[in-house]
Structure 1
């Protein structure tokens, strides 16, 4: 079996970690190169124009930004190349989500990132009605500050000496409010097929040693709670350290050899 040709869109903290991990699996994946808005020197794989990378790849892994998804996702899928996205919150844009659902012949693959329990929730949705689903995310206060917040909230987060509820709303609102760190809520919304059903609460806690995501689900399947506590990335504390390896897992499930555990 020939190695799967992989292009990387974005070469920030997650992109670098994904590349390092994939280079350890050369028998399965061939990294054709990466594209980034900035020139990057001293990289283990070549930097190339987006169009060239797309046509050289069997699958493109997006680890860049919501803006990159908006600009290139449809083009990639319509070229016949598969696309795996990490910046899932970009799909909170209704128009973009509809375009991507209609696009082809390439496939759109959603990376679950730092979220657990997705396979169970997918099965629960097939079984029947989901009455209630909520996500509570707890992070260190310093990574949650956003330009839209009132000065008093910004000051509390900067001080980092008290537990603060910084957001309550649905998954679409969460994706718009936290464009760089709301991909878990977006993934959950896509899993249940409704951005409005998923209720999201974001908390800044100075005592948080890890990033916590807690999902509570009730419906015909019964009642379930999932909790994931993961260490923040040392390079980018706004994201979990497991995310790059979730990308590798998704690539292996979609295109790798061996067992397919889904």
Structure 2
């Protein structure tokens, strides 16, 4: 006698994903998701100038294009701040669920509000991924009871600050001791160092906001890792967190954990149990 509770359940459908960006982060995510049973990257969005290069790497495994396809249901952005305006906002307005790694972009005037309005218009959700930092869930939970202080210190080797305004503050090739290159709000830090200060923007959005979160950025020739230090105080108590993240091999300005954060999000979309 058959029983509905013992009948075989249908297999979980594979989640198609559109990946925006195919730089160091995008390529790592694409390569590591190959063969995943629950999630498959079906489309990759790049600028027109990068079509041939991306297609040479991807082959037949995914479709490389310059725009989010009409049939997209889930988008993961890892292309940089301009991609949020060009691709994520329109996708949200069409009702496409999106996740972004370029959190620093939300420090721009009205950017967070524009993304929220687009998600509301489309009746969908925008996910802000934790990227290179941990403890974001604890900060967001503690905020519900009230926070009094959130401070972030980012410390990287001088090579991690090349090509940024830090070059006008000090001679990165010549410094022999830790050098403070910026003390400011999270908004100012994310705007001045958009490729380096996503962490500051992330913890501020989880906590006290971009203008009430204090940030210190340091070029340190004595370290070889990206070091993140967070101090949080509020009604919940106190939290001190230090993370020593290794940079992505293909891009010293980016933490390897940023790639893993994107992978975690995708793995969870295809999993029966998520953490």
* TM-score normalized by the length of structure 2: 0.87
Q: Is the 8 A contact 2:151 2:231 kept in 1?
A: yes
Q: Does 1:36 align with 2:51?
A: no
How much does 1:148 deviate?
4.1
Distance 2:16 2:111 in 1: 26
| Match of residue 171, structure 1, among 163, 173, 186 | 186
Corresponding residue SS for 1:2 = coil
Q: Equivalents in 1 of 2:149, 2:107: separation in Å?
A: 20
Corresponding position of 1:108: 126
Structure 1 residues 49 and 149: CA distance shift in structure 2, 3 A: closer
Distance 1:146 1:236, change over 3 A: closer
Q: Give the total of aligned pairs.
A: 254
Matching of residue 125 in structure 1 with residue 125 in structure 2: no
Q: Which moved more, 1:59-68 or 1:94-103?
A: 94-103
Check the 8 A contact 1:70/1:90 in 2, yes or no: no
Task: Give 1:105 deviation, angstroms.
Answer: 2.1
In structure 2, the gaps of 5 or more residues are 1-11
Tell me the residue number matched to 2:247: 232
When the two chains are superposed, the root-mean-square deviation of aligned CA atoms in Å is 1.6
- Provide the C-alpha distance between the structure 1 equivalents of 2:266 and 2:68, rounded to a whole number of angstroms: 21
Instruction: Tell me if structure 1 keeps the 8 A contact 2:133–2:257.
Output: no
Q: Structure 2: how far apart are the matches of 1:147 and 1:180?
A: 9
Which of structures 1 and 2 has the bigger CA Rg?
Answer: 2
State the alpha-carbon separation in 1 of the partners of residues 179 and 76 from structure 2. Answer: 35
Aligned to 2:273: 259
- 1:59 alignment partner in structure 2: 74
Distance 2:140 2:164 in 1: 35
Give the corresponding residue for 1:11: 22
- Listed one character per residue, the Cα deviations across residues 92-149 of structure 1 (whole Å, up to 9, x for unaligned) are 12322111112222311111011111111111111x2211110011001122145545
Is 1:22 equivalent to 2:33 in the alignment? yes
Distance 2:162 2:240 in 1: 28
Structure 1 pair 236/97, CA: closer, same or farther in 2 (3 Å)? same
1:166 aligned counterpart, secondary structure: strand
How far apart, CA to CA, are the structure 2 residues paired with 1:107 and 1:186?
19
Q: Is the 8 A contact 1:32 1:57 kept in 2?
A: no
Tell me the alpha carbon deviations over residues 225-251 of structure 1, each in whole angstroms, 9 at most, x when there is no partner: 011111111100001112111101122
What is residue 144 of structure 1 aligned with on the other side?
A: 161
Alignment of 1:169-208 (within 5 A): 169-208=184-223
| Residues 201-234 of structure 1: per-residue CA shift (max 9 Å, x gap) | 1101011121110100111111110111111111
